[in-house]
Copies of this chain bind each other. A is one copy, B any other.
Amino acid sequence: MADGLRVTALAGGVGGAKLAEGLAYLLPPAQLRIIVNTGDDFEHLGLTLCPDLDTVMYTLAGIASSETGWGIEGDSFHCLAGLERLDGPAWFRVGDRDLATHLLRTEWLRQGARLTEVTRRLSTTLGVSHSLLPMSDRPCRTIVVTPDGELPFQTYFVKRKARPQLMGVRWDATMGIGATPEVMAALAWADVIILCPSNPFVSIDPILALHGVRDTLKESHVIGVSPIIGGEAVKGPAAKMLQELEGEASAAAVATHFQDVLTGFVIDCVDSGLAPRIRDLGIDVEVSETLMPGLDERVALAGRVLAFGSALRG
């Protein structure tokens, strides 16, 4: 079905990682590239943390926590307990084994390696054979605009639990910052580009905001998968953000948000009633089960998405 099809997926955190795992199960490394949002990255205790990259990497390595979706399965939090004991900043929960990733990444970045190269080394060592590409090698941080002022993404998301009203999103230093050469090559190379079911505003938009990416997508076959099912996000604040910024939390609102780049859109069976509205935007629609609690569902949805993309490509 997907014989020889070249696929590039754009992913954020947990939802994106699940579909990426399904795609990686079906496609050999030569046919799949995964571009990951780095807008969530931040500095914490001198370490460079890349939450989305790590979530995708740990998921593909088969070591992601099945309970939280982030971090490493069965990890301990003794360093965090030590930080609490010393009245240090413990608001961001970093596990002990997870910390090794951050220490090494930060060390290699300090030595001058590009984040692309660092990610390749880390993921290869963890046994990930598919190509994980950070969207940029340079910091391009998501800034959330709220009534309390502008907040760095992790402050808004973790410290403030995504409670402040969202008035807008912007990217620090996006101006003139492009995607990496590897990302641009992966977009040009792909027969089909997939927008994984990740948060539209803080997972997918940061990638699209990079110089040249949106224009490339407009010329490509782009299939999106809705992160909203029955008006709710499976995880995270996507529904609240859609309500606040677009006035409606629905799969149709996501399709509308991405209408300039989408060729096709996959929505959940419970949202089949929204299909006509999305088709009116000039976007083909596929209706499918889209919840992906386990590998079976991830592979099944990946298969549906690939078949849909392959068919649309004609």
Contact = CB atoms under 8 A, between A and B. Distances in A.
Interface of A: 45-47, 72, 75-76, 78-83, 85-88, 95-101, 103-104, 106-107, 110, 122, 125-126
Contact of A106 (B46, B76, B80, B95): B46
11 contacts: A45-B106, A72-B82, A78-B96, A79-B97, A79-B103, A82-B96, A83-B103, A85-B100, A85-B126, A96-B99, A99-B99
Contacts of A82: 72, 96-101
Nearest to A95: B78
A84 to B, nearest CB: 8
A85 B75 CA distance: 14
Contacts of A101: 82, 86
A126 B83 CA distance: 11
Contacts of A110: 46
A215 B82 CA distance: 41
Contacts of A97: 78-79, 81-82, 85
A88 B110 CA distance: 15
Contact of A96 (B76, B87, B88, B125): B76
Contact of A85 (B80, B87, B125): B125
Nearest to A78: B96
B106 A79 contact: no
Contacts of A106: 45-46
A126 B86 contact: yes
B76 A125 contact: no
A126 B106 CA distance: 28
Interface pairs A-B: 8 shortest CB-CB: A82-B100, A78-B96, A82-B97, A83-B100, A96-B96, A79-B96, A88-B104, A45-B103
Nearest to A82: B100
A100 B75 contact: no
Contacts of A96: 76, 78-79, 82, 96, 99
Contacts of A78: 75-76, 78, 95-97
Nearest to A100: B82
A66 B250 CA distance: 60
A45 B72 CA distance: 21
Nearest to A111: B46
